[in-house]
Amino acid sequence: MSHSNGLSRAHPAGPPRPSGPVLAGGGFGDDDRREIVETFTHDLGHVFDFPHKCGYSTFEQTPGMSCTTNYFHTWLHKLGTHLGPGGREVERFGPGKSGNNFCAQHLRRIRLAHLEGNPAIWKW
């Protein structure tokens, strides 16, 4: 029998229960998990009104990791030339590897956002 909320009496709503540390017989592979995190962080950037194609590397020391806001084909700025608008050079045909993290500029903007002052958050 189903209630008006669509839940059956056999499975009543309740608090979420964590699964075990390992999903037996299912789950996602490493590449799938990486892509899920990449998609999540990329779309989180849209919450902060970040555009696509910033051209920066991630904050990590790993060379060639692209900011998560970049598309896979966006060329990255050459390191050392990205600090000033007049001196930016791109690494032609060098999109880097898709990263799960933001670049330093995006992380700084997140830190300065002061979400606690956004009235839309308090209307949930």
In a domain, 75, yes or no: yes
pLDDT digits 0-9 by tens, 61-101:
677 788 888 877 777 777 666 666 666 777 777 777 888 88
User: Mean pLDDT in the chain?
Assistant: 74
pLDDT at 3: 42
The single-letter code of the amino acid at 16 is P
Instruction: Check: CB of residue 106 under 8 Å from CB of residue 67.
Output: yes
In a domain, 31, yes or no: no
pLDDT at 84: 62
Question: Does 106 have pLDDT greater than 80?
Answer: yes
b/e burial code for range 12-34 (CB count within 10 A of at least 16 → b): eeeeeeeeeeeeeeeeeeeeeee
With tokens 């499975």, the residue in question is: 11
Considering its fold, how many domains does the chain have in total?
A: 1
d(CA 64, CA 118): 35
In a domain, 110, yes or no: yes
